[in-house]
Structure 1
């Protein structure tokens, strides 16, 4: 059965049948070593300072002016992909503008004003900017790792994979949206009165946070969770007027800026009501402060804590509940866990975790970036990734 699935996938995606030898999907390789620093083909993300002392409508303008062509190209692709599903609608773009533009008025501040500012700066219709900001709630695949070394230093890193089933280019063996996203990746420093209060990885024009660090206090990342009571239902409820649920990316950004400790962040992110289920991975600044929060939309399903002992010094989270076996066709957890154990607590650090996140299938054709965070000093470095050859589609 597994072999049959493998060959069906290879045929569908136009990959050579011999690409993965006799291995069942996904293709795996020996744990990589020496991948950090990456080659020049894997560029570090650009940096942008977001001055929170500037009015919300203007604070993103310098970045948006630079990235407008790339944002327009991505939104056009999104609309092309969703238009066939809009029954009885002949013009997808008109439908998007009419449906989503009024929703901007229901976003909480500062996001309402920031969205309006992006639309005004870029000339992109307001409804399309709203769609762009909604899209990330339901399409984010990821691998996140929190680890603690022998000295008690905590590290947090992640791959962000995006674009599954969204425009497969059979000729180039790439995902259309994944390719469009890479030029939009940017490290953002949030500053107040000239002082950096947080750092996060953004796709330019998307206002929420999926990866971030609050210097010397905590780190966080979000992975999508597949659930029948999923993000589509939450978004529909919100569109229909029920605004009790919080947008995941916005709430993570709010938490990053307002929480003053690992415990504060844990309290907020285990109790708030969300629009979509998710895994929220948090690292702190003290031994044992690592957690995977498994969220339903309206409550917390589980919290897995790292003990910080020699037998329990790291956490790995992909897109499946940690107490269940992942599906064989998308098991990134087992390769990542195997490679972390090979690294060992003695040698762990951001370069070795980068090795783990560079090992297939943890790295795959959906991988847009790898972010490396160290809570001490608020260290964040992000690399735009390309899986060069013999890569599984996800």
Structure 2
């Protein structure tokens, strides 16, 4: 429909850009997998890390790294971080802290919705306080295994976890920070939890080790986490969509699509509670989807939702807007650019 196409065009600013795409071959040695990404984005990484070091201080980074080493990392993940450290010239401690930073300070909107052809579409905005620095690090990555595309992700150079990704003919997942009923602060979280994993690393494991929507959903329901979070997951078939509200050790709730609930919208608040008026992205998103109507939501509608304030953060903190199709594996991503 013409109006849907126009909605899509209007939701994308002339300043917004496509991210560079890189290949990460999982058959390569872990230390070498991210070479092309680091070489392509090294200047942007240096700028961002200098900003973080100036803001936080090297002493705080060292303290954080000592605690973060208690968290669970797969051996291959440790080697990937070591490789990024050597390739970039930054210390392992700095790279480690940056990889956990996204766990605690992001805000997002995630949407999963039935489509007219009886599959699902997945929409997501990633929002972050340092958007004008992080958006320069955004890359799209095609992960290759046994010579074939295994899954795709939108991520940041230097970061090995996944916040937004899709496995063709499998599932799509996005991560939202959970800001309610998880009152422990950043440092308290790390001191309390030993041996748990970061949510973004859990998503990476799901994409590498799980093949179906159900397998990935069950894994994300049960994996021990460092911090509470929301996993939004969509499969290939109609009504295969869920939001998993996670506490550190268990799933507090699993909110699923069904015959009467044809879409889900998740921001950074428990869906069964009242959303604060100061940060209500949920209801504006729901309004646009409901006005489009069941059976009429396509990529254009989702980009309209993602590009409409306040879903598109008016404080210029939205980093990228992404629409994914788990059935086909399509990933359509726009990086938001601010002057």
Question: What's the TM-score once normalised by structure 1's chain length?
Answer: 0.79
- Match status 1:260 vs 2:211: yes
Q: 2 CA distance for matches of 1:62 and 1:266? A: 32
2:103 alignment partner in structure 1: 137
Q: 2 CA distance for matches of 1:278 and 1:154? A: 22
Q: 2:175 aligns with which of 214, 222, 239?
A: 222
Cα distance change, pair 32–342 in 1 and its aligned pair in 2 (3 A): farther
Question: 1:339-376, CA deviations, whole angstroms, 9 ceiling, x for partnerless residues?
Answer: 11112123211111100111110001210000110012
Cα distance change, pair 287–43 in 1 and its aligned pair in 2 (3 A): same
Question: 1:253-301, CA deviations, whole angstroms, 9 ceiling, x for partnerless residues?
Answer: 0001111111101111111110010010000112211101001111111
- Match status 1:68 vs 2:42: yes
Q: 2:7 aligns with which of 24, 34, 49?
A: 34
1:101/1:126 contact within 8 Å kept: no
1:270 alignment partner in structure 2: 221
Cα distance change, pair 151–74 in 1 and its aligned pair in 2 (3 A): same
- Match status 1:338 vs 2:287: yes
Cα distance change, pair 32–335 in 1 and its aligned pair in 2 (3 A): farther
State the structure with more CA Rg: 1
Give the deviation of 1:101 after TM superposition.
6.8
How many residues of Structure 1 are paired with residues of Structure 2 in the alignment? 330
Unaligned runs of 5+ in 2: none
Q: 1 CA distance for matches of 2:68 and 2:274? A: 39
1:353 alignment partner in structure 2: 302
Counterpart mapping for 1:96-115 below 5 A? 96-97=61-62, 100=65, 107-115=73-81
Give the deviation of 1:336 after TM superposition.
0.3
Q: 2 CA distance for matches of 1:281 and 1:317? A: 8
Unaligned runs of 5+ in 1: 1-30, 83-91, 164-176, 389-394
The SS at the match of 1:335 is: helix
- Match status 1:192 vs 2:145: yes
Give the deviation of 1:75 after TM superposition.
1.6
1:322 alignment partner in structure 2: 271
Q: 2:234 aligns with which of 276, 279, 283?
A: 283
Question: 1:195-253, CA deviations, whole angstroms, 9 ceiling, x for partnerless residues?
Answer: 00111111110110011111111111010001214654332235xxx21x111111110
Give the deviation of 1:70 after TM superposition.
1.1
Counterpart mapping for 1:13-162 below 5 A? 34-36=7-9, 38-82=12-56, 92-97=57-62, 100=65, 107-162=73-128
Q: CA RMSD in A?
A: 2.1
